[in-house]
Amino acid sequence: MLGPRLMEVTMQKLPIFALAATLALAVPVLAAETIPLSSDWNELGQQPDRCAPQLTGGGKPPKWVIIRPAGKWGIAETTRDTTDYRFPLCVVDDTAFPRLADVDVSVRIRPMDGSVDQAGGLAVRVKDARNYYVVRANALEDNVRLYVVLDGHRKQFAGVNSKVASKQWHTLRLRAIGDRFTVFFDGEQLFEVSDKRISGAGVALWSKADSVTEFTDLAIEAAR
């Protein structure tokens, strides 16, 4: 019998793989099923094996671990390194879902701690740790911003002030279709902008500096 699931990626309208409770191997299933980000759910505090740690900027290597906030399975980056220009990524394994440039991605986040920042985000069109787009919510600044990261340099190109309460759950969503990026926070559309600088196809969770932010309910859908 399988143990509790870690965070799951929901695949809509795409061929995917799911783990059946009676099988040891993944098998193809219909769309709208789910798969875990880790194949090992036995130990809290272990690194999820379908979500690869990477780092933009400096400081210590990231440490993403399995957590269970409020009875749900998720992950968090727990290094607490106060280096300001430090952006840990957990890049979803591209064997877990088809790599797509046009995606609709959402995740629930809960900023728990951090003196430099209390931020959490979603990265899309991830080519590598130095090139991607990221939307992030920050509980110390009370804003939601969209950045492009080019050759390791982060540049904001959209954002709004919005209350981001610490130690409370929020839903962050980014829809990317062609050159259009639409950002939602807690079910409300905040803004829509255009940008053509990156054409990658990966998806990742994102953190900053010493942020301790919990992530759960990651969903990835083909956007049309």
CB distance 87 to 57 below 8 Å: yes
- pLDDT for the residue numbered 1: 39
What kind of architecture, by CATH, is found in domain 43-222? Sandwich (2.60)
Q: Taking every pair of C-alpha atoms in the chain, what is the biggest distance, in angstroms? A: 48
Over its length of 224 residues, how does the chain's per-residue pLDDT go in tens digits?
334 444 444 434 333 222 222 212 222 222 323 446 677 655 789 999 888 999 999 999 999 999 988 788 889 999 999 999 999 999 998 776 667 889 999 999 999 999 999 999 999 999 999 999 999 999 999 999 999 999 999 999 999 999 999 999 999 999 999 999 999 999 999 999 999 999 989 999 999 999 999 999 888 888 88
In b/e form, how buried is each residue of 187-203, taking b as 16+ CB within 10 angstroms? eeebbeeebeebebbbb
User: Domain limits of the chain?
Assistant: 43-222
5, exposed or middle or buried, with CB in 10 Å at 0-12, 13-18, 19+? Answer: middle
Beta-carbon count within 10 A of 183 CB: 25
